[in-house]
Amino acid sequence: MAGIVAYSPPPGQQHYGPQPPYLPYQQPYPPPYAPYPVARPTNGLAIAALVCGVGGFVIGLSFIPAIICGHLARRQIRQTGEQGEGMAITGLILGYVGTALFIALIVALVVIANKIGQAVPNSSGVPLPALPGN
């Protein structure tokens, strides 16, 4: 036994001989991290509803596709479990608000045009027909 000498490699070199056994409570490496969960895809109709809702204030009349895409997206999201519920709801709200503002603008323009038409005198000399009730 006196003739057996333990060999240790020089500094900077690895030991390629048999490795010492690990004790049961020791691990050679820390346990690996759990993989990241797979992200759910975002519904394309929800994105389209949001874009049409925002674009309706710039382009005009894209409120109707925002409302349609928003309702279709919400139904698909309930069925498939995709992401994008907030975008679909935002597109719906912008679509309904934009539609209401557009209708209010049309009504205001009609009222203003009617008032201007009644206030302008007839320059042709031909009398205007009387309005019913006047």
Which tens digit of pLDDT belongs to each residue from 85-107? Answer: 999 999 999 999 999 999 999 99
Residue 35 lies in a domain: no
Residues making up the chain, counted from first to last: 134
Q: 8 in a domain, yes or no?
A: no
pTM: 0.63
Residue 31 maps to a domain:
no
- Tell me, yes or no, whether 53 lies in a domain: yes
**Residue numbers of the domain that contains 92:** 44-116
Q: Structurally, how many domains does the chain consist of?
A: 1
Report how far apart, in Å, the C-alpha atoms of 16 and of each of 8, 22, 28, 100, 127 are: 10, 16, 16, 79, 115
Q: pLDDT tens, 47-81?
A: 999 999 999 989 888 999 999 999 999 999 999 99
Residue 22 covered by a domain: no
Residue 36 within a domain: no
In a domain, 52, yes or no: yes
Within a domain: 98: yes
